[in-house]
Structure 1
């Protein structure tokens, strides 16, 4: 796997061209359509770190770097490392947001306070969800057109090296960026592209490359310059790897092969003891890469000026050197002098870039800004152009395994958990049990890992070997241990005691109860909807009260699922039902006397279809035919005279009917019937009857006591459905029997 796959996307791209006298902005292409951030789940979130937690790590920093941090940044080494950790997380989370479709224009950090600049309002919620302050638009950027940037031409990062340019022995001095590997695992380091090219023809220099043994940083140029002590030949320029100049606009990166067996690349950046001593007294260990984040504190190492520190002003800018070449990189305000080119730029323990150029000269008291070419991130970086030829050499700490505990016990189902100090999302771990095949897992951004093993292990003692990796060639020592696997007791069988199959109730939220495995989780579902869950108690009992009403009026199957470790059990209780409320007639009251303009009212249940039938008593006691019946009829039913008027029913089933004509005096019977379309009649159907007398109602002008003329001659009397209101929310489950059939409580 090429470490090009390990690179991160840039999160702030400000393009322009810087000349000696003018800045011409070329702009940036950014999508004007805000994304919903639902294309990919964002799992990371911003973090803050306490400075005191980094005291042990700060004690390992080179004295010269600590002095540079205090001198140039005005903060302690502990604060610098804590802020670097926050910047690393900010860069990774911002890249994850971009991968998820959020339009992030820039990431800006001040100490550990992170602000994300996004493209549109639709991007704000996703950016706020990771814990950032959010602004819409672009951050204000400084105009660097007045600064005169020049390339700083002149095994362990930060070392000085000399490249012979011609047979007469003349050549150029530069600094090593970061140790790394060829695809085959041989030592190869990264430096600036202009360090391996002729300054006029841009042809690759002849070489070889030699080490510069130094007792201290060389310091600013002197007149006359002191003699250069060229040491052992260490290797050769890698053919075709030097990207700089007219044919490689925006790039400044190249590779050097270490062929001398006496030299071995290590994942460190050379320290300069006291800022003046030899570069081997202390070193900075490299744990991975970091993208440029505006406001992050960065420090550079180089063979001329040693350690200097500054703050990233712009994450990505195109700069045109006074000699005509264009490089795109990050701008930061750390001193960089001739001969520092190619040297290491770090944020904490993470590789940020290599020294490219600056406006400093001839010393650190003259000038303001430098430009670094990124290792990863942004539109142009070393891994993008050289990732198939070079992989960063990273120090990988041995995993600390917390589960299973060395010498401890577990059940037969095992998940290995622990941390890799300094590990990031670019790391991975492998777990081997009893010398068997390794199982790999990812490391999270905070260095934690969780690797489940497939299947159950046999009871008894087992050994493990866990190792961490970065890329193809950087790996940790192996963490070994042993533990005992005990046979897991059988999981208690899930049982549902109540309700029983086919049971009905008028309670829309009946309690479900039973027994199961202590500590397990049980959940109640009907169809695709979950209605509640509970944990099985120590005594093995459980109970679930539904969190919302179960569907009414139809039969349904309820499923209870028990989950315990790797075991899942299901029990189905079939044919349950919730009884719908009976239809009622609340006005006129049964046995009451009312006026002829009376309105009819009553109740039923949500989703009910309600039908009404009005019957007038016989005209006299001599056995004359009864008067015609009136009803609210369903469409297409012509057997009942239509009862004209306005009928209304609400979501809860409360209904009203206002007849179009007053009723004449007489005795009447009103019948109401409720049904549910598609429902179970035993659960949903009901009827109510009330009798009443119209004592002083209107009637016809001729005094006849007939019902109002409806224009229909039908005389068949029946109850029919008239108005249907469907339940919102879909399918139903019901548990109700007709009242004359009796009912039970579920």
Structure 2
């Protein structure tokens, strides 16, 4: 699959596409000869440009559509190479002679630089040559790393001619077949040097015929050109001006091709295509373990229903964004063109230590928004790739990213991770990136303002009553830190080396006090810690209930409406039912009583507290239950003037005769013998089974009569 070249152009000054950017304000010389106009086309323009380029500071001569000549000239910058350029060079004099010549100053950072020509992606064309200039063309499989973490490129082992073609160059995409070049290789133009072959194996170890368990097709090229930028992606060949500007996929992992799944491939001859990994590889050159013979050597791999031709060898094969192989050979299967791909994992095992360059998912802090306020040592969380190693660093805002004092954490299987934020208050930028081997993701950043947590107040205690005056407020904070007290005490104190602080006070009035504390570090002030306490008599004991009793149950309307209990003489007792105050009373002779309204049905919680000299006790609480009053049964109404007859006892063995009315006729049985009687009887049978016996007995009596 390597295309041969027997003669190649002399390698040396190689053309690259450049883009020019101009900054600053264009200026026209005030001393230009009146009416003098510089040429903007033809030989006259070329002659003018030649004169301008005699000035070593001139980096560009162009003309615009408005009839102006634009001269790009490197400005003088102290400490740079341009500082040595003579500022009185010819460019300024030439510009001054014409009305339409404008000089645009640029810095070294603004100079035109080659772009796409040095961005190496999977599928890029490469030429491999021996020292005489003979060789062939193949394709880049994957940007990679050497065992010691330097840039490398992977391709097919057979592309190296068993190591004879050791010098590797990029080819001009426009001259490659996929970019519109001729298939006879006459338009193949080597451009940038890549490096030299560091490892190659075609077949078995030592480039032998190979055998199952030792058969691959892989080569690793050690990149020696520092100008190349290796990108973990595969080109789709839609933009031959910049193969890296139009990508089919990024490369995020290495795996094994799965049968039945779609693959994508890219190379310098046929460009980009995709196909399905064969599910039935009935081919005389393929054994059952996944090997095929290529030019007499076994290669472990897989086939796919996609066409490849010479020059595509070594090209990228992906499933999704997972690297699975490099193009090795082409063959027909059932009359259709097929590709054989060398299994990438097998190749990497042979080329011990070389690894594929990966595009890792970014590591991002997601628990807070950019610019958020967080407390020191706060736990922050984020996302990354599953099981990724995440490296992060805290840098003062405005400073550049630095990994000198970085730390690491690990993402879980769902890509979630946590870190502990900065321990010192201030304004920070948190930088984060994912790492795996020699691979690093793009760097993300988020700005946070870190504040200290509130200091502690250890004395007086919150909610406590003190019988004696309070003479000192104490607490803890960060060591050697300013603490501000506010509320009923206003002061500033500084903690000692151990973080302890105190402030003397004289709080003797019998009342409630509130004191708050904040600490300030690096201009960041914490939230407040607040305590509320009382100075005065000790809190009295809780009162007690006499009536009702705890757990008592009362019928509706019979609940006591005078609640009584015992307490301290002179104390005021406050009674609550639920959360509502229902009354107050004064303890006299150690007894108190408070009238309330009848309580409704339900469970009720009664709470009483007594207050002595403005200090309240804890609550005494009881629970009672009120049940609904029982309903009296209603007696049936009797007719006036008549008494209810008492029926005579009946012999249960004898049938009862129906009662006769005064006229001697039988009393009604509830079912008359008329046209609807059978229907009524039928319904009685369907609804109530006992009705059958009743009807039957009534018929028997009738028949006896």
Q: TM-score range by the shorter chain?
A: 0.3 to 0.5
TM-score scaled to structure 1, two decimals?
0.38
Specify the structure having the higher radius of gyration (Cα). Answer: 2
| Larger RCO (CA within 8 A; separation ≥ 6) | 1
Larger strand share, 1 or 2: 2
